Structure formats: structure tokens, C-alpha cells
């Protein structure tokens, strides 16, 4: 049951990635609406964030058929068969043995508000705008060692440091300013940084072209996207190896359809770790 849920949903995501290429990331930030639940108003996170944001819908609002019905909103007849499956995962305590945990994994079907009758495109009155100062403070609060120079962005486990090209070497692109491109790249490397043995202890000793390498790159890219969304940055990496990364991910995904699910969970943990570091800095100031 669990395997079928993850395989079916991940296969849909792989299909979307293959159809849209790097543009699969396009509508995650910027002028688009973030995927939220219509009732709770909570943002969908982790794997569900990537599932819903990749649907390229006109609205950021999602709900189950029951939630729409309770709100007096009708889904179009022709859209009833076009639900999007998402995942609910939770670790439950074993009643017979409290020291053990039992995984609960369920699949739910949700529809987008633009699939309903009388839908009118929403006006985003509070679009997310890039804030350089907030992004800079976010990075500073991690206390990560960052060195600028050269023409390569990378993270070294040996020195536990991030190497970045000078800020003024980044250029403006169609989708982002030079500053946005700089921070989008830095967030990618910062996610790698969370994998150090003193922090999340991920397997970082891998080589380009291997499944392990692709796995870590996907974690870093997803972590960068989560952070980019937070600061209103188009998740676009200015990196010569970007297309190679995409190819590596797809190769790995074909080998193991649970790959992207596992990576999104690790990316979520990475960003939560970075968030915790912000809280620790706040305590010091207080």
C-alpha cells in the first residue's frame, strides 16, 4: 500500500519534470500563489509542496472534495476525475510497545480552486518580494563559513566551508535580478552545508554521476527552492552544472521512484535546521 502510493505520485512528478524540464520550477515563487489549504490556510510543505506547485494551476488554493462541499463550492463535472493525490505521513505509537513507532501513510485527493464552477482568477494583493537584508541575516545567523572568490560555487566537507563567486559576478536574467541569482545559489550550497557530520550527518562522500551524488544534489536544490520561496526568489541556479544535475536526478529517479520523496524529506529537515539556527540567534539577542 505505502509503496504504491509513493510510486504512483512520484511517477506523476517525474512525468511533469520530463514534460517541463527546468521550467517545472518556474511557478513556485514570484508572482504565483503558494499552495495552501483552503480551510486551514496552512502552506503545504515537503513532498506535497512539490506535487501541488508543479501542477501549474491558476490558484494556490487546494482542498478535498468534502472541504469544497462544506464551503458551498462545486467542482466542475469534467474536473471531478482530475484530482491531485497528496500524501499524509505520521509516526504513530505502538499501543503494544510504546518504544516502537508505526508509520502511517495515506493518500488524499485534492482539487484546485480553479477547477470549481464560477472560478475567478485571484488577485495577489500581497505578493512575495525579495528582501536582501532578510536573506543576508538568514545566512549570517547560521554562522556558516563563506568565502568569496573564483568562479565556482561549492561546499567542502573537508574545510566545512562554502565557496562562492563574488556577488558582483552574478548577472541579471530573464527571471531574476543578479542579487536573487546570488542568493538562490547560496541557498543551494547552504543546504549542502547542513549535511555535514556535525549537523545532519548525510553521506557527502560521493562522485558526480552516481546515484548518491544525484540524491544530495536534489536535496540541495529542493532546500534552495524552499528558501527561495521564503524570500521571494526565483529558484534559478547560475551554475554550469545545472543541466547535468537535472539529468542526474532523472536517471536516479528512474532507478528508484521513492528517490524524490526521500530527498524532499531531507530538504525539509535541512530548512528546519536553518530555521532553528535563526531562533537560537534571536535568543542571544534577547
Q: Tens of pLDDT along 112-132? A: 999 999 898 766 666 556 778
Determine the Cα–Cα distance for residues 269 and 194; give it in Å rounded to an integer: 9
> At 280, is the pLDDT very low, low, confident or very high (cuts 50, 70, 90)?
confident
Q: Any alpha helices (H) in the chain, and if so which ranges?
A: 2-20, 46-53, 65-70, 132-142, 178-193, 211-231, 242-255, 259-285
Determine the Cα–Cα distance for residues 224 and 236; give it in Å rounded to an integer: 9
Determine the Cα–Cα distance for residues 286 and 228; give it in Å rounded to an integer: 27
Cβ partners under 8 Å of residue 36, min gap 6: 42, 43, 44, 60, 61, 62
**Contact 115/84 with Cβ under 8 angstroms?**
no
Best mean pLDDT range from 163-177, 205-219, 233-247: 163-177
Cβ partners under 8 Å of residue 97, min gap 6: none
Q: State the Rg of the chain over Cα.
A: 20
**Contact 260/9 with Cβ under 8 angstroms?**
no
> Does residue 245 have a pLDDT over 90?
no
At how many degrees (to 10) do helices 46-53 and 2-20 cross? 40
* Residue 123, C-alpha cell as written in the block: 488577485
Quick one: how far is CA 14 from the chain centroid? 15
At how many degrees (to 10) do helices 132-142 and 211-231 cross? 130
**Contact 34/43 with Cβ under 8 angstroms?**
yes
> Does residue 237 have a pLDDT over 60?
no
Exposure pattern of 62-83 as b/e (b: 16+ CB <10 Å)? bbbeebbeeeebebeeeeeeeb
- The share of the chain scoring above pLDDT 70, in percent, equals 72
Rounded average pLDDT over 75-88: 92
At how many degrees (to 10) do helices 2-20 and 259-285 cross? 90
What's the pLDDT score for residue 239? 38
Determine the Cα–Cα distance for residues 221 and 219; give it in Å rounded to an integer: 6
Is pLDDT larger for residue 205 or for residue 56? 205
* Residue 180, C-alpha cell as written in the block: 536573487
What's the pLDDT score for residue 9? 61
- In whole numbers, what is the pLDDT of the chain averaged over residues? 78
Is pLDDT larger for residue 247 or for residue 34? 34
Determine the Cα–Cα distance for residues 249 and 210; give it in Å rounded to an integer: 10
pLDDT in tens, 149-172: 888 889 999 999 999 999 888 888
Sheet holding 154-156, edge to edge: 145-148, 161-164, 154-156
> At 217, is the pLDDT very low, low, confident or very high (cuts 50, 70, 90)?
confident
Amino acid at each position: 500500500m505505502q509503496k504504491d502510493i509513493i510510486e504512483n505520485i512520484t511517477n506523476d512528478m517525474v512525468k511533469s519534470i520530463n514534460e517541463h524540464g527546468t521550467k517545472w520550477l518556474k511557478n513556485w515563487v514570484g508572482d504565483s500563489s503558494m499552495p495552501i489549504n483552503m480551510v486551514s490556510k496552512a502552506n503545504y510543505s515537503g513532498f506535497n509542496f512539490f506535487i501541488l506547485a508543479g501542477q501549474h494551476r491558476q490558484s494556490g488554493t487546494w482542498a478535498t472534495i468534502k472541504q469544497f462541499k462544506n464551503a458551498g463550492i462545486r467542482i466542475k463535472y469534467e474536473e471531478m476525475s482530475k484530482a491531485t493525490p497528496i500524501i499524509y505521513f505520521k509516526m504513530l505509537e505502538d499501543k503494544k510497545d510504546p518504544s516502537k513507532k508505526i508509520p502511517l501513510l495515506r493518500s488524499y485527493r485534492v482539487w484546485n480552486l480553479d477547477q470549481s464552477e464560477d472560478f475567478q482568477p485571484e488577485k495577489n494583493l500581497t505578493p512575495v518580494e525579495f528582501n536582501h537584508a532578510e536573506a543576508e541575516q538568514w545566512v549570517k545567523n547560521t554562522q556558516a563559513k563563506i568565502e568569496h572568490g573564483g568562479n565556482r560555487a561549492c561546499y567542502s566537507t573537508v574545510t566545512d566551508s562554502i565557496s562562492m563567486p563574488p556577488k558582483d559576478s552574478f548577472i541579471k536574467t530573464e527571471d531574476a535580478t543578479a542579487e536573487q541569482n546570488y542568493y538562490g545559489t547560496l541557498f543551494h550550497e547552504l543546504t549542502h552545508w547542513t549535511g555535514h557530520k556535525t549537523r545532519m550527518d548525510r553521506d557527502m562522500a560521493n562522485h558526480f554521476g552516481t546515484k548518491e551524488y544525484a540524491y544530495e544534489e536534489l536535496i540541495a536544490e529542493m532546500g534552495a527552492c524552499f528558501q527561495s520561496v521564503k524570500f521571494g526568489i526565483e529558484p534559478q541556479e547560475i551554475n554550469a552544472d545545472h543541466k547535468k544535475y537535472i539529468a542526474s536526478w532523472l536517471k536516479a529517479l528512474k532507478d528508484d521512484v521513492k528517490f524524490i520523496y526521500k530527498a524532499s524529506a531531507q530538504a525539509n529537515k535541512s530548512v528546519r535546521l536553518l530555521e532553528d539556527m535563526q531562533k537560537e540567534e534571536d535568543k542571544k539577542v534577547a
